[in-house]
Structure 1
Amino acid sequence: MKKFKWLVAGTALTVVLAACGGEDTDTAGDSNGDENEGNGETIEWSLGHLAAEDHIWHETSEKFAELVNEKTDGQIEISIYPNNQLGGETDTLNSIQAGNVDMVITGETMQNWAPKSALLAAPFAFRDSEHMINVVEGEIGKEIEDEIYEEVGVTPLFYMERAPRNLTSNDPVSSPEDLDGLRIRVPNVPLFMDAWESAGANPQVMDFDEVFTGLQQGVIGGQENPVDLIHSGALYEVQDYVNMTEHVYSWIYVVVGNDQFESLSEELQEAVWEASEEAKAYGDELFVEEIENYHNVLEDEGMTFNDNVDQDAFREAMEPAIEESLTEEQFELYQRILDVE
C-alpha cells in the first residue's frame, strides 16, 4: 500500500490503549513520539475482526502484529480479538472513533460513513480477481482510501483480497427463479439488501456471529459469503450447497484509527508501514494457498458446489436495484470501475 501523502508526523497525542473485554480504557500518558521512543514506553493496540482463529485474516493479523513488534523494538504491541470479540464491524469502528479500540478488519460496512466504500463489494462490479486488483491499486482505490481516512477516521494500512461471495442454501439455486422468497442473511449493507430483493430473495440483516444459529433454527434459509468464511463459520454443518454465483469480488482493509496512528513518531509510523507491506505479501501467499483448500475441505464436510449457476441471469436481475440503490456519485464510480481494463 502506498503511504497516504496527507499523513504527516506531528506532535503526538495521548496514546489510547484498548478497552478489551469490557475493561476500562487506560492511557499511556502525555508525551511526544520522540520521548516515547526514548523511554521505551509500550503502546498497546487492539485489533478486532469477525473471523475465527484458523482464518487467513487472523493468521495475517498475527504476522502483522509480530512484524510491528519486531520493527518497533517491542514498543508497539498489538492484541488480536477474533470472532467479533470487540463487537461487529460497525460497533468496532464506533469504538475506534471513541478511542476505546484501535484497529479492525473492515470493508463495505464503512459506507455508513464513506459512501464510496460501497464499491468495495458492489455486486457484479468486478469481472475477476485481476480486474479488482487493478482497481484497488489504481486511482479509484486511492479515492476510496482518501474518503475512508477523511470520513471514517481510520487509516487503511493494507488490503486483503477476498474470495468471491457465493450463495449457500439447502436446495440448489441455479437462477433467480430458484430463490422464490428464500430468506437469506446479508450484512448491514443496503446495496446487498436491494440487490438480493430484486433477484427474488427475502434478505435479512444479521451479524455474522448469528448466522449459524439463524440457519440452524430456520430463521434464515441461506446466506452469501466467500468459501473461507463459510468454513470459518462452520456453515457446512447447517447448509448443503455452495451455489457459484460469484456475485461479488471484493477486498477488505486492515485499518487503524487516525488519532492512534498519528500519535506515533515518524519513525514508528514508518515501521508500521513497513510491517503493513510485509504482512500484505504474507497474506497474499496465504490466500493463494488456502482458498483452494477451503473448497476441498467444504466438499469433504459434505457440501456440494453447484456450478450450474446462470450468473448472467443474476446480474440482469440485480442491475436495476444496483443502479437505483447507488447515489449518482456512487453509480458514476461503479461505471468507472466497469471501464477499468
Structure 2
Amino acid sequence: MKKVLGMFLGLTIILLLAACGGSDSAQGEGDGETITWKLGHLANEEHQWHKTAEKFAELVKEKTDGKLQIEIYPNEQLGSEIEVLNSIEAGTVDMTISGESMQNWAPEAALMAVPYAFKNEEHLKKVIEGEIGKEIESAIKEKVGVTPLYYHLRAPRNLTSKKPIKSPEDLEGFKMRVPNVPLFMDAWEAAGASPQVMAFSEVFTAIQQGVIDGQENPVDLIHSASFYEVQNYVNKTQHVRSWIYVVVGNEQLNSLSEDMQAAVKEAAKEAQEYGMKLYKEETDKYIKMLKDEGMEFVEVDQDAFAEAMKPAVEKSLNEEQLKLYEKILKAAK
C-alpha cells in the first residue's frame, strides 16, 4: 500500500511540475499570459525601419498592458525577406517588412516599384492611402496571407555617374549596374543605356575599375556604399518611387481579441507618423552628406526618361497589372 501511495504522490508531483513549466511559454490570452511576436527584417539597427519598429513594439506593449510583446530581429537574422515571408506562413515568425517582393504571391504588389508610375511624393501617398492602395493591400492579405499594418516611403532611386546625365540621349554607351529585376534591365535598355545585373557588393570596384560607368539607388544606399568616392554626380532621375509595408500574419492577427487587434492598429497608426518624420529627416540628412562629400545633384528631364521607359514597362506587365498601372497614372491628374 505504501509503495502504491508513494508512486501516486510521485506522479502527482511530476504532473504539477510539468504544468507549471508549460505556463511560462504559453501563447494565448489567458490570465497573466503573454503573446510574443517575432519581427524579422533586412535593415540594420541604425535604419529608420528598425527605429520605427522599435517604436511600434513599445506602443504595442503599452497599449496592450504588456500582453503582446514584439521581438525584433534586424540584419536578416531570421532569413531573407522571402524566407521570412515563408516562415510567417509556416507560423515560426510573425512579422516582417516587405514590398514588391510579395509579387511572388500577389502580382498586384509589383506595382509598388514600377519606373515612373508615380510623379511625385504627393501622388505616391495619394495612391497608397486611397482606393488603389486598399486594392493592393487586399490582394496581399488574400494571396500572401499577411496584413499590412503601416508603411514606409522609400527615397527615390537616382542615377549616379562621373559626368552629368540630363536626358536619355546622354545614356549612349553608358554602362550601368541594375539589381536582378528584369523590369529595371528592360527599362534602362529602352532609355538607351547598357545595363547589366551585378551584385551590389561588386559595384564600387566595378566603377573604380571602369567596368561600369554608374549605378542607380536611393540616397541612403549611395552614401552607405561610399559611391561618392568614385562618382561625381547624382542625376535626379527619381525613376522609382516606392513604399514598403510592415506586415503581420493573418492568423496571428486574427487570433487576438478585438480589443488587442484595435490596440495593434492604433499603435501602427502612431508608428506610421513616427516613421514618416524619420523618413523626411533621414532623406534630407543623406542628401546633405552626399553634397558635403562633393557630389553634385543634377536636374534631369524626367518626362523624357519616363517616355523612353514606358513601352518597356507596359510590355512587362500582365493584363491585371496593366489595369492597376493605368489607374495609378490617372490618379496623378
TM-score, reference length from structure 1: 0.81
Choose from 242, 260, 270 the match for 1:268.
260
**Matched residue of 2:55: which SS?**
helix
User: Which whole-Å CA distance do the structure 2 matches of 1:202 and 1:81 have between them?
Assistant: 38
Give the alignment partner of residue 38 of structure 2, picking from 45, 49, 53.
45
Cα pair 2:175 2:214 within 8 Å, conserved = yes
Q: Which residue of 2 aligns with 1:14?
A: none
Deviation at 1:317, TM superposition (A): 1.5
Give runs of aligned pairs for residues 236-251 of structure 1, distance below 5 A: 236-251=228-243
1:34 is displaced (CA, Å) by: 3.3
Deviations 1:128-149 (A, max 9, x none): 1111111111111100000001
The letter of the residue matching 1:215 is F
Q: Could you tell me how far apart the structure 2 residues matched to 1:265 and 1:120 are?
A: 31
1:211, distance to aligned residue in structure 2 (A): 1.4
Preserved CA contact (<8 Å) 1:109 1:189: no
Which residue in 2 is equivalent to 1:23?
Answer: none
Match of 2:303 in 1: 312
Name the structure 2 match of 1:61.
53
**Matched residues in 2 for 1:177 and 1:148: separation?**
39
Change (3 A) 1:338 1:76: same
1:4 corresponds to:
none
Structure showing greater radius of gyration is: 2
Distance 1:317 1:68 in 2: 46
Is the partner of 2:240 in helix, strand or coil?
strand
Tell me, which stretches of 5 or more residues in structure 2 are unaligned? 1-23
8 Å contact from structure 2 (residues 177, 203) kept in 1: no
Identity between Structure 1 and Structure 2 (%): 59
**Deviation at residue 315 of structure 1 after TM alignment:** 1.1
**RMSD, matched Cα:** 2.4
Structure 1 SS opposite 2:256: coil
Q: How does 1:1-341 map to 2 (within 5 A)?
A: 29=26, 33-35=28-30, 38-49=31-42, 51-179=43-171, 180=173, 182-186=175-179, 188-205=180-197, 210-218=199-207, 221-307=213-299, 309-340=300-331, 341=333
Q: Is the 8 A contact 1:28 1:43 kept in 2?
A: no
Q: Choose between structure 1 and 2: higher helix proportion.
A: 2
Cα distance change of structure 1 residues 260 and 336 upon mapping to structure 2, 3 Å threshold: same
| Secondary structure of 2:39 counterpart | strand
| Alpha-carbon contact 1:52-1:233 (below 8 Å) kept | no
The TM-score, its normalising length taken from structure 2, stands at 0.82
* Aligned pairs, number: 305
Match in the other structure for 1:11: none
SS in 2 for 1:323: helix
Do the aligned partners of residues 267 and 221 (structure 1) sit closer, same or farther apart at CA in structure 2, a change above 3 Å counting? farther
Aligned amino acid, residue 245 of structure 1:
T
Rounded to whole Å, the distance in 1 between the matches of 2:84 and 2:93 is 7
Distance 1:134 1:75, change over 3 A: same
Query: What letter matches 2:284 in structure 1?
Result: E
Summarize the Cα distance change of 1:83–1:324 in structure 2 as closer, same or farther, 3 Å threshold. same
Deviation per CA, 1:122-167, whole angstroms, max 9, x where unpaired?
A: 1111111111111111111100000001111111001122222212
The question of whether the paired residues in 2 share the 8 Å contact of 1:155 and 1:255 is answered with yes
Paired letter, 2:306: R
CA distance in 2, matches of 1:273, 1:236: 41
Tell me whether 70-79 or 234-243 shows the greater mean CA deviation: 234-243
The 3 A distance-change label for structure 1 pair 58 and 127 is same
Q: Give the residue type in structure 1 aligned to 2:278.
A: L
Q: Provide the C-alpha distance between the structure 1 equivalents of 2:229 and 2:128, rounded to a whole number of angstroms.
A: 34
**Structure 1 position 86, deviation (Å):** 3.3
Structure 1, unmatched stretches of 5+, are 1-26
1:48 maps to a residue whose letter is: H
Question: Within 2, Cα distance between the matches of 1:196 and 1:88?
Answer: 27
